[in-house]
Chains A and B, each alone.
Chain A
Amino acid sequence: GQNIDQPTEMTATEGAIVQINCTYQTSGFNGLFWYQQHAGEAPTFLSYNVLDGLEEKGRFSSFLSRSKGYSYLLLKELQMKDSASYLCAVRASRTYKYIFGTGTRLKVLA
Chain B
Amino acid sequence: EAGVAQSPRYKIIEKRQSVAFWCNPISGHATLYWYQQILGQGPKLLIQFQNNGVVDDSQLPKDRFSAERLKGVDSTLKIQPAKLEDSAVYLCASSLIYSGTSTDTQYFGPGTRLTVL
Which of A's residues lie within 8 Å of B, judged by CB?
Answer: 4, 30-31, 33, 41-45, 48, 50, 87, 89, 95-103
Contacts and interface: CB of A to CB of B under 8 A. Distances in A.
B45 A97 contact: yes
A30 B106 CA distance: 14
B103 A87 contact: no
Interface residues of B, number: 23
B95 A96 contact: yes
Interface string B38-61: 001111110010000001100000
B43 A100 contact: yes
Contacts of B45: 97-99
B87 interface: no
Interface in B90-117: 91, 95, 98, 101, 103, 105-111
Closest 10 A/B residue pairs (Cβ):
A100-B42, A42-B108, A45-B105, A102-B42, A48-B103, A103-B42, A100-B43, A96-B98, A43-B108, A95-B55
**For chain A, what secondary structure do more than half of its interface residues adopt (helix, strand, loop), or is it mixed?**
strand
11 contacts: A31-B103, A42-B91, A95-B56, A96-B48, A96-B98, A97-B55, A97-B56, A98-B33, A98-B43, A100-B43, A102-B42
Contacts of B107: 45
